[in-house]
Amino acid sequence: MSSHHFVKEQQEPALLILGTEGISYDQIAPLLEWVPTVIVVQEEVYRVISWGIKIDLILADLNFQKSNIRLLEEQYPVKFLGVRDGQFLEEAFQYLIATKHTAVNIVGFDHKNVFALEEKLSFLDITVIDGAMRYFPVKSGKIKKWFPETSVHIHAPEGTLISFGTQEGNSILQVVYATMVDVPEGLATLEGKGVFWVGEILDKK
């Protein structure tokens, strides 16, 4: 039995890979440290296998399942999760919620579409990795977090007002497309009405 497949308690964030364009193995490797449930969309299966990652569940339509049945033996104990009409993301969410996962890291999801994920935030903590950026939602309307010296992307509906405070002072930001904010090292506070998303630059390997 692979060490990857000891009994999982669903406590660690699952890893859902929808796309790998602009993504390297080094970006994903830290997400594997605690042996998450790994779910991969059919188009990315062979790329992920080439990285040496053990997959638990393949989101696949009937044609893919029929054409790649050997994967069930070659990558045992991988399973197929049937998908119709291209509803890969929705099927993945239904599975994660039904199996009582509490969090998921989604790789290869366009950050511009994160607002469509917000109806799932009452069930799952969601983090999105899009290229060199990692996005997380501020569900309570306020976050206080330590940052290294960096730039962050504030992603919210256009015109949203966000209060931004650091040891250097406070300011009010009005969100427009690609609102980037320089953050000094230390604690920063971000506050706004409703859910908004914060994008951090992933560590370069």
pLDDT at residue 46 in the model: 96
Say yes or no to pLDDT of 177 above 80: no
For the segment 140-165, the average pLDDT, to the nearest whole number, is 93
The Cα–Cα gap between 89 and 151 comes to: 29
For residue 48, what pLDDT band results from cuts at 50, 70 and 90? very high
Sheet with strand 186-192: strands edge to edge: 142-147, 186-192, 161-166, 169-174
CB of 22 closer than 8 Å to CB of 37 = no
What's the CATH architecture for 6-131? 3-Layer(aba) Sandwich (3.40)
d(CA 113, CA 160): 17
Residue with the two structure tokens 């296998």:
49
Assigned token pair, 203: 């560590």
Of 4-13, 21-30, 31-40, 177-186, the least confident = 4-13
- Cβ proximity of 82 and 61 under 8 Å: yes
pLDDT in the model for residue 3? 39
**Domain positions in the chain:** 6-131, 138-201
Each residue of 92-137: pLDDT tens digit?
A: 999 999 999 999 999 999 999 999 999 999 999 999 999 889 999 9
Residue 10: per-residue pLDDT: 61
